[in-house]
Amino acid sequence: LGIPQFTGSDGPHGIGNESDGWSSFPVTLAMTATWDPALIHRVGRAIALEQASRGRHRLAGPTLDLLHDPRNGRAPETIGEDPFLGGRISEGFLRGMAETPVFATIKHYNLNTFEANRETNDYLVDSRSLVEFWGAHWRRAIQDGAAQSVMCAYNLVNGEKSAENYTLIRTLLRDHWGFRGYTMCDWGGFWSTEKAMAGELDFCEGNELYFKELPGLVAAGKITPAQLDLGAGNVLRTKLLAGMMDHRPPNSEDQIRDSAAHRDLVYESGLKSIVLLKNQANFLPLSPAVRSVAVIGPNSGVLPLDGHSSSAVRPTYTVTPLEGISAIVGADKVTHAAGCAINSTDRAGFAEALRIAREAEVVVFVGGLDQTVEGEGHYIKGDRIGGSTLLPGVQNELIQAVAAVNPNVVLVVISGGPCAVSPVLDQVKGLFYAPYPGQEGGRALADLLFGRANPSGKLPVTIPHDDAQLPPVDNDFRDPAALTIGYRWYDSQKLRPDFAFGHGLSYTTFKYRRLTVAPTRAAVGQPVTVEAEVINTGARAGEEVVQLYVSTGKLAPSVVMPVKQLRGFQKIALEPGQRKRVTFTLTPEELYVYDPATATYGLPAGDYRVAVGGASDVLPLTGRFALAPAAPAPDLQIVNLRTLPAFPLEGDPVLFLASVVNRGTAPLPAGASVSVMFQVDGKTVSTSPLRLTEAIPSAGMSLVCGSEGVTGSPAPLTAPAGTFELRAEVDAAQATPETIETNNVRTERRSIPVRQHKPPRA
């Protein structure tokens, strides 16, 4: 039949575990620390282009796991502790990938929270937190990010293997969220072919159970031909939508592999992921004219890129902190001693480290973690070695000794999972957290240390004072408000961590003022606008992440809510003295509460409080609004546009597809008279009905093909060469009342190249 098979590799932050020479971008947790979806859009596109240059179709990534405990061995691969932030960062990555011939396999669905016993861990979770918290970022990635493949986790959820779990795959992914791609297991990650097929696992990777057991199960009538057709159809649909069945844009490995443009992007993304946590009396930035610098610590002369994992990337080069610092101040002003290893009690190197520290004007201590203490459980058989958030080995002891002979110490923690630094926090004047920032990390760090660049990263996780502040290690997540993870835990327990979620300093200062909320009373389903003014009150240009948190009053006796939840953020750049008005819009999408009794997303009436600031614990502006009861209604939006073929050439017949989501407070019923109108450069080329055989629930999605002309006859467009505007509008005739009638249009620019030759089959 000429149907190509999938080819791919791991790739959350670059081409993993393959040949040398591929770009090693910051790890997923570092991408989240940028709080910059537009930047990560470019990163996702770049990684996918490198994969495409090898002729590959699929990238195993991004990783969507939440970080429940900072000691998780695969903490570097997680999206942090908050699904709202992680979902939007993942969406940026996925939208970048969608501009290439490579599609994403998002992983590991779901509740992959620890590496120890990862194949047998059974996580108990209630339906509300499963959907509303643990599932929120997956829904975002599937709908807005248009992810076409989902890898199931190794662990069990409520007694069923994730890859055999009908509730996870069919009920949530497909029936509720509208996923139309294919599902797959992690390597060998299911136990029963019969259960996996019943759970609608489409693709088996890493074992031969499907090949060995399917014929007998079909012959015995335990698996039907219809089940086989369903799985095969999901795989074929993905291949079709991903462009595997038609023309593939040319891509030269020589031009992309280790390219200057990708090196620059690695640097930029690493730079913006590094978080300045402490700057005592504006000790930083250091002067490039400094008399001498002692560079000490186990990560000072090396640059770890990731924990030990299947996604490890082998770049052509790395820039270590020592190399980055020497390039700025001159090698003749720099002395170096590791002093100790990451996780060793050997103090033999202390004497040399203390000698150079005593003689230097400034000490930069670079410690943290590396692949020997954190990584994938398949390799190190568990989570963070030592089981503590504190710096391992004798690092704290060495830092204390160095600070005793030289008070001018800047501590840099390079790690995946965050490290508690309370034993030495008062003894250092500056502190950076650099979640494995990519192969240019040493250059990026040096530029921040010496003021060539201004820090703009913010914490995607909470850094505790010590291990005693962490939530209990437990597989029981039956907690409707998900109060045992991240800042929700610290808020609910009234704990004060050393560094709160969203914290991150700059070399300039920002002032927040003039908050407005409008309207202050609205009907359920109507948008509420929150605005605030931010002023750069310092002497340097800088970037600030403006964060919006929402709290609720008492909604109902049985509805437990977190103290606050992140529900908006924007990263803005301001020159000295410049001010900017930042606008957030709160719709049902930001305020949904899942009702287990009716299995629906809803929006409770009641009082709401908003707070705006630069960190979850620094929110100087507050306001309120109230939502009054109203008749429920759908709200239709188009979140993605596609073409068939995916990458048409001049003269190809082209069909259009739109992903329509319902982000209202009621389902769109089956048989509803709703169409999608497609226009090219302002001319209507297709008006296609949704043809719903089932309702689109609130927070659900449907895929619409613009395969009919204006009169209803088949009329694919013959693709012209050049760039055109593709516009799609759902329910242009306003046949269905909606909660919001002004968000039904999506417009994108598309380009079709001139045909040079007959397109080869993939």
- How much is the pLDDT for 324? 99
User: Per-residue pLDDT averaged across 679-683, rounded?
Assistant: 92
The strands making up 565-574's β-sheet, listed across from edge to edge, are 521-523, 621-628, 606-613, 542-552, 565-574
State both tokens at 566.
Answer: 């992140």
Give the C-alpha separation, 382 to 114, whole Å: 8
The mean pLDDT of the chain is 94
In this model, does residue 432 exceed pLDDT 80?
A: yes
Query: Is pLDDT larger for residue 588 or for residue 711?
Result: 588
Provide DSSP, 484-541.
TSHHHHHHHHT---SB-TT--B-SS-EEEEEEEEE-SEEETTS-EEEEEEEEE-SSS-
- How much is the pLDDT for 210? 92
Q: What is the identity of the amino acid at 299?
A: N
In this model, does residue 706 exceed pLDDT 50?
A: yes
**Local confidence band at 379 (pLDDT 50, 70, 90 cut-offs):** low
33's enclosing H/E stretch is helix 28-33
User: Which residues neighbour 711 within 8 Å (Cβ) at sequence distance 6 or greater?
Assistant: none
**Residue boundaries of the structural domains of the chain:** 8-253, 256-460, 510-628, 636-752
- What's the CATH fold of domain 510-628? Immunoglobulin-like (2.60.40)
Dihedral angle over CA of 94, 97, 103, 109, nearest 10: -20
Provide DSSP, 270-329.
HHTT-EEEEEGGG-PSPPTT-S-EEEESTTSS----SSBSTT----S----HHHHHHHHH
Nearest CA-CA partner of 734 in 743, 726, 725: 743
- How much is the pLDDT for 757? 55
Give the CATH number of domain 256-460; options: 3.40.50.620, 3.30.70.2740, 3.40.50.1700, 3.30.450.40.
Answer: 3.40.50.1700
User: Per-residue pLDDT averaged across 4-20, rounded?
Assistant: 87
Q: Which CATH class is domain 636-752?
A: mainly beta
User: Per-residue pLDDT averaged across 596-616, rounded?
Assistant: 95
DSSP state of 708: B
In angstroms, how far is CA 433 from the centroid of its own chain? 19
503-542 confidence digits (pLDDT tens): 999 999 999 999 999 999 999 999 999 999 999 999 999 9
Give the C-alpha separation, 667 to 687, whole Å: 22
pTM of the model: 0.96
DSSP state of 237: H
Nearest CA-CA partner of 22 in 41, 37, 9, 5: 9
Confirm whether 510-628 and 636-752 share one CATH topology.
Answer: yes
Architecture of domain 8-253: Alpha-Beta Barrel (3.20)
225-236 confidence digits (pLDDT tens): 999 999 999 999
- How much is the pLDDT for 707? 58
In this model, does residue 563 exceed pLDDT 50?
A: yes
State both tokens at 576.
Answer: 């000295």
User: Per-residue pLDDT averaged across 106-119, rounded?
Assistant: 94
